[in-house]
Amino acid sequence: MDQVNVGLCGLGTVGTGVVKLLQSHADEIKYKIGSEIRIKKILVHDIEKKRDVVIESDWLTNKPEDLVNNPDIDIIIEVMGGIEDTNLLLEQAIRNKKHIVTANKDLMAVYGQKLLRLAKENKCDILYDASVAGGIPIIRSLTEGLASDKIQKIMGIVNGTTNYILTKMTDHKLAYETVLKEAQALGFAESDPTSDVDGLDAARKMTLLANLAFKMEIGLDDVEVTGIRTISQEDITFATSLGYTIKLIGIAAIYEGKVEISVEPTLLPNDHPLAQVKNEYNAVYVYGEAVGETMFYGPGAGSMPTATAVVSDLMDVVKNIRLGITGNEYIIPQYEKQLKENNEKYMQYFIRMEVDDQAGTFQKITNIFTDEKVSFQKILQLPSNTEKLAEIVMITHKISKQQLINSRENLKGLDVVNEIISCYRVDGED
């Protein structure tokens, strides 16, 4: 197998990086896998568009069949995005016995398990390391480097846009809307930022990691998702004064065979490694039963970092073809999905509320929490900007989510509580 032929779907940010990497690192790649990689066709929307990379005149096409039905092509690299049409295109390619490398977390979070099964039936590989945290080899680490361990918890900053926004809000004391506009101007946020700021992008990535780590078929609907839109400058100031940094954290954890998975604003102690991850960078903290704590840090997106992950996957496929071991047996779930109930999810919470500034208020509030057996690690009481009102900020000890829900419900019926302004998870202290 002196030569392996590739069809590339997409020549945008990532696709251009892939072509550049295959050209500039051709010797190293050939030396490591023993085969030359040749691009045969590139699928794009607009074949007339000027491209930022050197390509041969007959490469570009706007017809998917030129790739998926092309008998000369061994491997399809999908870096064009999209879900429904892209899924059909890849299904067709797999039926035609083509191996797949993709960077598409949107597709993998929705159709990943179906595609993996189809690929296995057809003895094809489908690798997707670039779909989570761009240039950080986190999927590769879970499936290879940590393969012998039992993963207990994954905690990560897997969305660069929201981390950029929260870093600027914290370090420069800017409002959410101001930073979002700046991020859009710099290209760190999309013109429609919904999927990033509402946590959906991070949720998709966390399902991919949880599926691999816990070997269960965990879907997007299983993730409890809260985005960052409601985080205010006041929340950040209170968190800072108590020694915490607010980050959008994806958490997937397993205990006695039951999984909890969420993406939500989370307060981390300032000295926690994830609290130090700034701007558009990503980081994933993995706790394994045997290995203990490990952390993976790096660029979560960008042309060349993401291309690095894509081409490394491509090289693995070539090695697997050579060894005759394509088909990804180990990626198919091993266990029935079991999710934790609210009374089994234990964590600390930051609760901020506006209350009447009068004698007895504090007692009434603490009575509600005492009834639910909720105790506190830290409490602050401060005058509010509004006359006759005060703000109370509390950090609970570890309580169940059900205790929190019950306490919040009972607080609503209390005349001295004007508003529960915010309530966030606190993690990273154990």
**What positions carry a catalytic annotation?**
205
Given candidates 4, 7, 15, 70, which one binds ligand NAP under the rule CB under 6 A? 15
Tokens of 196: 């990033």
Which range, of 112-120, 258-266, 299-307, 342-350, touches ligand NAP by CB under 6 A? 299-307
Regarding beta strands 75-78 and 3-9, do their DSSP bridges make them parallel or antiparallel, or are they unpaired? parallel
Asked whether 384 and 320 are in contact (CB, 8 A), the reply is no
- Does 82 interact with ligand NAP (rule: CB under 6 A)? yes
Q: Supply the minimum distance, in Å, between the C-beta of residue 89 and ligand NAP.
A: 8
**Alpha carbon distance 100, 77 (integer Å):** 6
List 4, 6, 8, 11, residue binding ligand NAP (CB under 6 A): 11
Beta-carbon contacts of 147 under 8 Å, excluding residues fewer than 6 positions away, are 330
Q: Phi/psi at 8 (nearest 5 deg)?
A: -105, 120
Binding segment (CB under 6 A) for ligand NAP, from list 148-156, 190-198, 225-233, 300-308: 300-308
Q: In the complex, what is the shortest distance from the CB of residue 403 to ligand NAP, in angstroms, rounded to a whole number?
A: 38
Per the structure block, which two tokens stand in for 398?
A: 């570890």
Contact 353, 389 (CB under 8 A): no
How many residues bind ligand NAP (CB under 6 A)? The answer is 25
CA 326 to the chain's CA centroid: 27
Contact status: 14 vs ligand NAP (CB under 6 A): yes
Q: In the complex, what is the shortest distance from the CB of residue 19 to ligand NAP, in angstroms, rounded to a whole number? A: 11
Question: Is 44 an interacting residue with respect to ligand NAP (CB under 6 A)?
Answer: yes
Of 4-12, 141-149, 192-200, 241-249, the segment contacting ligand NAP by CB under 6 A is 4-12
Q: Does 103 participate in binding ligand NAP (rule CB under 6 A)?
A: yes
Q: Does residue 134 touch ligand NAP according to CB under 6 A?
A: yes
Phi, psi of 213, deg, nearest 5: -70, -40
14 labelled binding-site residue: yes
Query: Judged by CB under 6 A, does residue 150 bind ligand NAP?
Result: no
Task: Tell me the C-alpha distance between 107 and 372, whole Å.
Answer: 43
Q: Tell me the CA distances in angstroms from 25 to 29, 42, 224, 308, one per residue in order.
A: 6, 19, 42, 10
Read off the tokens for 320.
């697997």
Q: With binding defined as CB under 6 A, does residue 373 bind ligand NAP?
A: no
In angstroms, the CA 24 to CA 33 distance is: 16
Annotated binding residue at 190? Answer: yes
First to last CA, the chain: 51
130 binds ligand NAP (CB under 6 A): yes
Q: Which residues bind ligand NAP (CB under 6 A)?
A: 10-15, 43-46, 49, 62, 79-82, 85, 103-104, 130-131, 134, 301-302, 306
Annotated binding site: 9-16, 105, 190
